[in-house]
Amino acid sequence: SGINAEYGRVVSIGVSGATLVSCLTGHQVVITDWDTMDVLHSVDYSHHDVMGVCMWEEKIVLMGVSVLYLDSKTFEEDFCKTFDSTIKAFQLLPDDNTLLLLENSGKVTFVRHD
């Protein structure tokens, strides 16, 4: 796709409605319109070491050494929390509005979404 050619290798994706969120090597996050593949938003999140993305309700959740929530319509940052080490794995617990995180250090953290 044009995303690969222009920005680098895709390492994680999330899809919500007509929006595709791609996290690329170099910590670039590219948000595109699924139908047209037009780039709607592109930001370098290297200062957060972002390497993972998922969609949660009306939020785009970016994960690295920080967890960031972006509004899925405006792409504005709603929340940011930095951790001691990079997020290695995560699990959404939608019934509890909770994000379960496993840090590289082995620490497990719960982040509630209110």
State pLDDT tens for residues 18-29: 888 988 876 788
Assessment of whether the complete model's pTM goes beyond 0.85: no
Helix (H, G, I), strand (E, B) or coil at 105: coil
Predicted local confidence at residue 59, as pLDDT: 87
Instruction: Tell me the percentage of the chain whose pLDDT exceeds 90.
Output: 12
pLDDT in tens, 38-51: 999 998 888 888 87
Q: Mean of the pLDDT values across residues 92-108? A: 87
Predicted local confidence at residue 2, as pLDDT: 53
Burial of 105 (0-12, 13-18, 19+ CB in 10 A): exposed
Mean residue pLDDT of the chain comes to: 84
- pLDDT of 96 > 50? The answer is yes
**In which band, very low, low, confident or very high, does the pLDDT at 1 lie, cut at 50, 70 and 90?**
very low
Distances (CA, A) of 90 to 16, 35, 39, 53: 18, 29, 27, 10
